[in-house]
A and B are shown apart, each in its own frame.
Chain A
Amino acid sequence: MSANKILIVDDEEIIVKLLSMSLRSDGYETVTAYSGEQGLEVFKTESPDIVVTDIKMPGMDGLELLKKIKEIDSEKEVIIVTGHGDIDSTITALQYGASDFINKPVRDEALAIALERAKAKISIREKLKEYTENLELKIAEATEEIRRKSNFQRLLIKSSNDAIVAFDHDWKVVVYNSEAVTMFGEAAKDVRNKMTIDDLYTPKIAQIFKNQAKEEKRQNTFPWRENIINTKDGRQIPVRYTSNALYEKGEFVGTVNFFQDLTEIKRLEKELVQSERLAAVGQTVSGLAHYVKNILIGLQGGSYVVDVGIAKNNTEKLKTGWGTIKRNIKRVGDLTQDLLTYSKQRKPEFEACLPNDIADDAIELVTDFAGSKNVLISKEFDSGIGEVVADPQTIHRSLLNLINNAIDACLEDEDTSKKHEIKVKTYIGKDNHFCLEVKDNGSGMDKNTQKQLFNPMFSSKGGKGTGLGLLVTGKLIEEHNGVIEIKTRQGIGSTFTIKLPYEKAN
């Protein structure tokens, strides 16, 4: 909008007319009045952009008119026409907010300049107003956006499936979302802005994050890690977590930690392992059927021999037949135990025990049998192992299984010229393990057999194996947080090594 409408007020009619004519010819629109009172009326109805008024008028003079106009609209440009030397009025007019002054007699050039200046002022003011209005709008928009974003972030943090905990640079908790409440068990009102990292976390966990803040800024985030969190109320939660150290212009301002509760995942993993194991037992059925058939054959044969012994009153036959029956009853027992061990979850029962003594017991059980087959069993025990915390059952059964396998490997060996020998060794291994080693110089295994060793149902012993032995051993060792290592060469022999965590008993 360009300022175009001008109100001219003067009690001298001729001046008004002259000025009006002159301005019209310059392209302005003019309205006129011949007194202050009339000027005010016209101002109200016509709403001109600029007012040019004489100062001296009967009745309402120019100053009074200026005052009234400014009361109605303080931004209107009012140009005052004064006589020479009228300083007092000029000062009053300035105080009332007059825009400009021109002297009488009014010259066209002087008026034109005053009008241009007034117009420029109006234009600047309009622009300023526009800017201001725009600015307000922009601020309103920005504020809304910030509110929305912060709301979004608040919701994001609040509804996150991760527990989120953030600390300021003094390690005071500033963010603690509802998942965090669930995980750590402390109410938000007791934690937020009240606790420090040391109040919320156990010292071990707190130290991890503190160390991170000390490190180079380039490494301000670390990959997801897993750990067990001990909550203050005594729960143990397996978690996956990560942390970001926050910097603003190079200054450490805080840390944010993300935790994911792995309890459910761990449970599912366990369930999966369990169901895989049950499926494996299913697969074993065909192998088992074969094995059970062999037991049945043994029992039937045994009872036939016992029948003959009874009929003939032959003690020798009775003994033989009864021996067969007892052996096969034992096979049923062993099989049942293997199946149960394999299909059920079992926690090792840790207690103080002597691995060397347990190994001795296991060797004792098979020495006679091995001897009858010309297989020599020797031992080499490290007495330094002493008493350890472990599950004696696991050690005993695993070792017995490996020794029995070793005997079988010797019996199966095609090379009958070898002097077959099994060496059972115990020793303290690297990285805090103690080891139980069974080494034979029997048949050894080819690659294919090796690959299938821990598969259920796989037996290299024809109908004479259940295919469960190594599987059960493997599971027992795994439950004991140990490992089995195998070295074998076909025709040369095999070495099985069980490594279990070494914890000395007090």
Chain B
Amino acid sequence: MSKKVLVVDDDPDVRSFVVTVLEENQYMPLTAQDGIEGFEMIEKERPDLVILDVLMPRGSGIRLYRQLKTNENLKKIPVIMFTGIALRSFLKSQKALDEFKGGEVPEPDIYLEKPVTPEELVAAIKKKLD
């Protein structure tokens, strides 16, 4: 059975691109439009991998990432951050949150800065799933 990959991105264009890449590589795509929908989907579907945008209305990627990594049942699900935000800015916000909320959240497994070619995306997914 093909592996389930959840794409959380508010931009329909990004979703259709990633979904197509996943289909072309025999994965089973799932989609969510924002962090809140994304979290519901993860709990329900238990995907094998999450591809997560950072800046989204209603529940940002930053918050969802934290939710996953601090949840005992979900923290093992690998996450690829897929975003237009530079890694440096993302880590800075994570660090600020660490200090604010206490505890430490591990850095994302893979961080991809858009734009990303289909090949780069596939390589990143394979690295986590194969």
Contact = CB atoms under 8 A, between A and B. Distances in A.
Interface of A: 290, 293-294, 296-298, 300-302, 304-305, 308, 317, 320-321, 323-324, 327-328, 408, 411-414, 416, 462-464
Chain A CB count within 10 A is highest, among B20, B24, B55, for B20
Given A304-B20, A308-B20, A412 B13 contact: no
Nearest to B20: A305
Given A302-B13, A327-B13, A297 B58 contact: no
A404 B45 CA distance: 34
Contacts, number: 67
B112 to A, nearest CB: 11
Contacts of B58: 411-414, 416
Contacts of B23: 308
Given A296-B115, A301-B14, A302-B13, 17 more contacts: A290-B84, A294-B114, A297-B13, A297-B115, A301-B13, A302-B16, A304-B20, A308-B23, A308-B24, A320-B20, A323-B16, A327-B13, A411-B57, A412-B58, A413-B57, A414-B58, A464-B11
Chain A CB count within 10 A is highest, among B16, B24, B55, for B16
Given A304-B118, A416-B58, A297 B84 contact: yes
A324 B114 CA distance: 16
Contacts of B13: 297-298, 301-302, 324, 327-328
Nearest to B23: A308
B17 A305 contact: yes
Contacts of A298: 11, 13-14
Nearest to B60: A462
A412 B57 contact: yes
Nearest to A311: B24
Nearest to B116: A297
Ordered nearest first, which 10 A-B pairs have the shortest CB separation? A301-B17, A462-B55, A412-B57, A324-B13, A298-B13, A297-B115, A463-B84, A411-B57, A305-B20, A320-B16
Contact of A294 (B20, B24, B84): B84
Interface residues on B, range: 20 to 34
B96 to A, nearest CB: 16
B17 A302 contact: yes
Nearest to B18: A301
A353 to B, nearest CB: 35
A305 B14 contact: no
A222 B66 CA distance: 68
B84 A293 contact: yes
Contacts of B21: 304
A300 B115 CA distance: 8
Interface in B1-53: 11-14, 16-18, 20-21, 23-24, 36
A292 to B, nearest CB: 11
Contacts of A300: 17, 115, 117
A317 B20 CA distance: 8
Contact of A324 (B16, B36, B84): B16
Interface of B: 11-14, 16-18, 20-21, 23-24, 36, 55, 57-59, 84-85, 114-115, 117-118
Contacts of A323: 16
B107 to A, nearest CB: 21
A243 to B, nearest CB: 60
Contacts of B18: 301
Contacts of A464: 11, 55
Chain B CB count within 10 A is highest, among A290, A320, A462, A464, for A462
A248 to B, nearest CB: 76
B115 A304 contact: no
A416 B20 CA distance: 30
A276 B86 CA distance: 30
A162 to B, nearest CB: 58
A422 to B, nearest CB: 15
A414 B59 CA distance: 7
B36 A297 contact: no
A116 B20 CA distance: 139
Contacts of A317: 20
A414 B56 CA distance: 11
Nearest to A408: B57
A416 B36 contact: yes
B110 to A, nearest CB: 18
Contacts of B84: 290, 293-294, 297, 462-463
Given A416-B36, A462-B55, A324 B115 contact: no
A464 B13 CA distance: 13
A297 B16 CA distance: 12
Contacts of A324: 12-13, 16-17
